[in-house]
């Protein structure tokens, strides 16, 4: 009975560890305690072994918490453009005139943006007609040609004798919109009477996107007057740091396309746009790091597993950086967990980002070392949990089955 139950235990943890802690293909952890009890009932060593078995199950939680902490630390130690301290934001002092975005990794700087003219799209407006009257567009198939951005497209629609102006304009608008000719059509209704008219607007702004509309067969354009340009397309005219530019679009870029400005209205004076670190994202990543750290420490405290070298290394590292952490609002609690004063942290990020980065991401500093320590725990959770493997797997059992499971014991320590 003893041998049978211990083989079940051994097989369970061997498969569990070889599957990286996954319990999807092995029995539930709770069932192991029952195996231990039945295998060691009324024996002097049952208490010690049950304790070790409990630590084995706790080691799985420890492994998961350590892996989470590794991932949180890696974001902070990542020195590429996807890392925490490469996150950038762009803010405008007048978002009604100019807004901006910045890609990660750009330099902190200030731009002066003056908008002389925003880019607009061409608009054609047809004549007003009574929606209920019979349309003057001839019955049968009408074909119009829209030429836009150097391309022409023929668009056809059918008119039935006796169709009202509203019916014909709706048919015409639908045909134009379905054609994807680079022009959007809408039937505009007058709120004070029965008058309606057809309005066409280019999909894009600027002089490169002007369009024309003509009749090919039928008289739809001539009858509706939709070839009348009511608003010409114009290009954006603006200045970046006193250098003048023009563009077809109101979304314009600088710094090799990594900073984008959206021009919204003309300005009388330059608008200041500041590109700097994304303080809110950096604070969020640091808070995630602290939360993952606390989860690991709380797990070790609650399971009496805080005596391994890796865990001692983590708490010792935090203690050695106590003064630096406190300056940015992170304090050490009595149980070795951390608390964050977000106002103080945000102020430090805003006004002294170099110190924040050096504290977490500098050589051999907090996040760098904790990533190393927590990775060690994730790789060796049994050791970190203080599991006595020889007590759990009786020496004679290991000896008896060594010829069957040669090398498997080593897998427990991978």
pLDDT at 271: 98
Q: Which residue has the higher pLDDT, 264 or 16?
A: 264
Mean pLDDT, residues 155-160 = 97
Q: Give exposure, 56-92, as e/b (b: 16+ Cβ within 10 Å).
A: bbbbbbbbbbbbbbbebbebbbbeeeebbbbbbbbeb
pLDDT, one tens digit per residue, over 48-61 is: 555 555 666 677 88
Give the three-state DSSP class for 276.
strand
Task: Report residue 314's pLDDT band, with 50, 70 and 90 as the boundaries.
Answer: confident
Mean pLDDT, residues 270-277 = 97
Residues 6+ apart with CB under 8 A from 403: none
Least Cα distance to 234 among 98, 115, 97, 121 occurs for: 121
Asked if 331 and 344 count as a contact pair (C-beta separation under 8 A), the reply is no
Q: Which residue has the higher pLDDT, 285 or 305?
A: 285
Determine the Cα–Cα distance for residues 361 and 319; give it in Å rounded to an integer: 17
pLDDT at 56: 67
pLDDT at 307: 64
pLDDT at 61: 82
> What does DSSP say about strands 140-148 and 151-159: parallel, antiparallel, or unpaired?
antiparallel
Mean pLDDT, residues 162-177 = 97
pLDDT, one tens digit per residue, over 71-97 is: 999 999 999 999 999 999 999 999 999
Mean pLDDT of the residues in the chain: 84
183 φ, ψ (degrees, to nearest 5)? -135, 135
Determine the Cα–Cα distance for residues 298 and 339; give it in Å rounded to an integer: 13
For 88, the enclosing helix (H) or strand (E) is: strand 88-92
Determine the Cα–Cα distance for residues 278 and 275; give it in Å rounded to an integer: 9
pLDDT at 42: 43
pLDDT exceeds cutoff 60 at 4: no
pLDDT, one tens digit per residue, over 347-373 is: 999 999 999 999 999 888 999 999 999
Determine the Cα–Cα distance for residues 301 and 281; give it in Å rounded to an integer: 30
Mean pLDDT, residues 377-386 = 78
- Please, what are the domains in the chain? 2-82+281-411 (no CATH), 88-119+235-277 (no CATH), 123-231 (2.60.40)
pLDDT exceeds cutoff 80 at 185: yes
Determine the Cα–Cα distance for residues 5 and 26; give it in Å rounded to an integer: 15
Q: Which residue has the higher pLDDT, 406 or 11?
A: 11
pLDDT exceeds cutoff 60 at 26: no
Task: Report residue 403's pLDDT band, with 50, 70 and 90 as the boundaries.
Answer: very low
* Entry pTM: 0.74
CB atoms within 10 A of CB 36: 23
Asked if 278 and 89 count as a contact pair (C-beta separation under 8 A), the reply is yes
pLDDT at 252: 98
Asked if 48 and 391 count as a contact pair (C-beta separation under 8 A), the reply is yes
Least Cα distance to 13 among 385, 295, 375, 300 occurs for: 385
Asked if 250 and 205 count as a contact pair (C-beta separation under 8 A), the reply is yes
pLDDT exceeds cutoff 60 at 398: no
Mean pLDDT, residues 34-39 = 44
Share of the chain above pLDDT 70, in %: 77
Determine the Cα–Cα distance for residues 73 and 293; give it in Å rounded to an integer: 9
pLDDT at 27: 40
pLDDT exceeds cutoff 60 at 144: yes
pLDDT exceeds cutoff 60 at 387: yes
Give the three-state DSSP class for 105.
coil
Share of the chain above pLDDT 90, in %: 68
Most confident of 28-32, 37-41, 218-222: 218-222
């Amino acid at each position: 009975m003893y041998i049978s139950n211990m083989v079940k235990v051994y097989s369970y943890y061997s498969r569990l560890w070889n599957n990286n802690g996954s319990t999807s293909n092995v029995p539930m952890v709770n069932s192991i305690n029952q195996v231990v009890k039945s295998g060691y009932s009324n024996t002097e060593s049952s208490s010690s072994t049950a304790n070790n078995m409990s630590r084995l199950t706790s080691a799985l939680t420890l492994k998961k918490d350590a892996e989470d902490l590794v991932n949180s630390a890696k974001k902070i130690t990542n020195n590429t453009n996807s890392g925490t301290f490469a996150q950038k934001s762009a803010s405008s002092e007048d978002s009604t005139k100019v807004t901006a975005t910045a890609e990660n990794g750009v330099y902190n700087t200030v731009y002066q943006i003056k908008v002389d003219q925003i880019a607009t799209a061409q608009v054609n407006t047809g004549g007003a007609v009574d929606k209920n009257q019979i349309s003057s567009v001839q019955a049968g198939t009408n074909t119009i040609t829209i030429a836009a951005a150097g391309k022409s497209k023929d668009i056809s629609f059918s008119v039935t004798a006796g169709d009202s102006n509203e019916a014909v304009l709706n048919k015409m608008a639908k045909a134009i919109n379905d054609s994807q000719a680079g022009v959007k059509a809408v039937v505009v209704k007058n709120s004070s009477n029965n008058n309606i008219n057809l309005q066409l607007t280019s999909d894009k702004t600027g002089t490169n996107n002007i369009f024309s509309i003509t009749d090919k067969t039928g008289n739809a354009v001539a009858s509706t007057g939709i070839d009348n340009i009511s608003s010409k397309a114009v290009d954006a005219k603006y200045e970046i740091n006193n250098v003048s530019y023009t563009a077809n679009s109101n979304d314009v870029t600088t710094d090799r396309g990594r900073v984008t400005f959206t021009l919204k209205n003309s300005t009388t004076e330059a608008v200041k746009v500041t590109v700097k670190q994304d303080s809110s994202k950096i604070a969020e990543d640091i808070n995630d790091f602290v939360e993952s750290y606390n989860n690991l420490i709380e797990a070790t405290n609650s399971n009496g597993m805080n005596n391994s070298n890796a865990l001692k290394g983590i708490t010792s590292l935090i203690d050695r950086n106590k003064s630096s952490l406190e300056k940015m609002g992170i304090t050490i609690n009595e149980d070795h967990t951390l608390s964050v004063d977000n106002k103080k942290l945000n102020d430090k990020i805003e006004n002294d980002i170099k110190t924040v980065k050096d504290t977490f991401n500098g050589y051999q500093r907090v996040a760098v070392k904790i990533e190393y320590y927590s990775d060690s725990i994730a790789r060796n959770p049994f050791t970190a949990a203080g599991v006595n493997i020889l007590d759990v797997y009786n020496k004679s059992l290991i000896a008896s089955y060594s010829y069957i499971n040669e090398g498997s014991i080593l897998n427990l320590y991978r």
